Chain A
Amino acid sequence: MSCWDTVQAYALRSLGYGERLLPRGDITLCEQFTLIGSGLIWNVYFGVLALLFGFFFAVALAVGKASTRWWIQKPASWFIFVLRGSPLFIQFFLAYEAFVMLPRVGIEINLGFIEITAESRWFARAWLGAVIVLFMNTSAYAGEIFYGALRSVPKGDLEAADAYGMSGWKRFRRVVFPTTMRLAWPAYTNEAIFLFHATTLVFFSGFPAFRQQGDALYYAQYFADRTFNPFVPYPIVALYFVIVTLLVITGFGLINRHLNRHLPSERRKRIKYRPQLIR
């Protein structure tokens, strides 16, 4: 089987298309690269969805934690405390056990052109359940970052906004929020990187890999178990993740440049990668 055949057979294996049986016996390098790369689709899927939804919820949490009303402030701070104070690994287990206990019901959703039955057992599948856990987790971490940034908005900015007669929503949208984002962006970039790393935990915790459709690390472990040689599959995973990390840094760097576009170029701070901030 040539390498191109392997790519055709296994490139979408993690989504359930192509060859059903995983390679066994003599395993070629091409098969390892293809299948682990195929698993990476899941990591990107988890990471992108959790970040996308998590961003908005994190902003809400940060504003909630900074609120003066106790019935907003308390739940937001507790949410952040519980999700930042406990291991993600345990959160996955806990969420899976809780989702499994949900009663089996189906809800018909009419989208006009097609009718879908939403089932509660989807929650126990990685594609929905794990995304929910990762979403909540990243919201809590990013919420804390945004909260810190929200509190360090310069006093002068707020006074200037007051002087212009801005208040409430307008002041938040035009002064507080942009400055918060500028301050928080480097730390948020790190959070995004570590969220992508955290996606590797999904199939090692409660969530089972349905029909051997797993993520990059799942397939790497499969190969390591089969060949009893860890020196090939794990470096491949490492390589893929270094590439993902570089892409995240590039993408977030572009947004950072956009956020600071009003500053003269020498005052713009480049994003520095600080690996302390992980879960």
Chain B
Amino acid sequence: MFNYCADPSTLETAQWFSCYLTNGVHLLFYQSFLTVLLLLAVTAPVALAFGFFGAAASRSQILPIRWFGKLYTSMVRGVPDIAFFLFFVIALDQGLEWINHQIRCPDWTDPIRQGANFIVCQEAKIPLSSSPQWVHEVYNFGIAVFTFSIVFGAFAANVLFGAMRAVPHAQIETAEAYGMTRRQSFWRILVPQMWIYALPGLSNLWMILIKATPLLFLLGVEDIVYWARELGGSRTSQYTYPHPDWRLWYFLALLVFYLGFTRISEVVLGRLTVRLSHGQATAAGESQRKAAT
């Protein structure tokens, strides 16, 4: 990074650190923070969409759809989320390869499951074994995002289902009295009003999502935990920057990162609650009205 970094063994402590913390692998480490932020940025809206459809499905008047919605919302109860993470990654991978296999190799006769093996034809491998490294990484990341979205979508469906039920029933009755259909009263009355009831649950969920991001490490993505372990391990004098085992300090840095992140989120979500309570028929909205007069 800097000119004086050519021979680190001769440097003073401060300069040594300035070189050490800006070398190539550390820049990758800093990039992995962006990976985490990207995961959050993609997962949060997708999970919210899944949750919305899950909640809407469990209110459906058609029985199979309602069953599906209920099954999805109750899926996360009682089972550790990490079990889902480990399960979905393999299950999705195999599912995709199986479908691809059916399409591309229709005349393949051998069974796909042979004892302890799962064998599909070469052309059906996802991603193809000949594809470059970045395709593999993007695919892994995509699977991870999808898994996060499914699991957190189920949590969000729970929250949104509760929020839909919390909207005062008189509102729906009024809508029906005006002659709105079920669909109209859902989109025009229920959905705009439910967010303030959903916000406490969704803020909680956002915090949980932030704190679940280190699990990316278990899904095989090179995230911050991976790099912290990698960089923190002791380096002998054969390396350019020899140092003892510093993993403790790297994990401490991650801890501080997460603490700061959750703290900022808390402040932002607090402000958002105040904004959304404005003019609502809730205790918070009422106290805002009283304070203004």
Contact = CB atoms under 8 A, between A and B. Distances in A.
Interface in A179-227: 193, 196-198, 200-201, 204, 217, 220-221, 224, 226-227
Interface stretch (B76-84, B130-138, B176-184): B76-84
B276 interface: no
A162 to B, nearest CB: 28
B255 interface: yes
B80 A86 contact: no
Interface of A: 25-27, 81-82, 85-91, 93-94, 97-98, 101, 193, 196-198, 200-201, 204, 217, 220-221, 224, 226-231, 234, 237-238, 241-242, 245-246, 273, 275-279
B164 interface: no
B211 A279 contact: yes
Interface residues of B, number: 48
A270 B6 CA distance: 69
B116 A227 contact: yes
B77 to A, nearest CB: 6
A276 B204 contact: yes
Given A86-B255, A275-B155, A231 B262 contact: no
Given A241-B78, A277-B204, 17 more contacts: A85-B262, A86-B259, A87-B213, A90-B214, A90-B258, A93-B225, A94-B252, A197-B80, A197-B81, A198-B80, A229-B116, A229-B118, A237-B80, A242-B79, A246-B78, A275-B76, A279-B208
Contacts of A227: 116
Majority DSSP secondary structure for residues of B touching A: helix
B91 interface: yes
B105 interface: no
Given A224-B86, A226-B116, A228-B118, A87 B212 contact: yes
Given A85-B263, A234-B83, A278 B208 contact: yes
Contacts of B158: 275-276
A73 B102 CA distance: 64
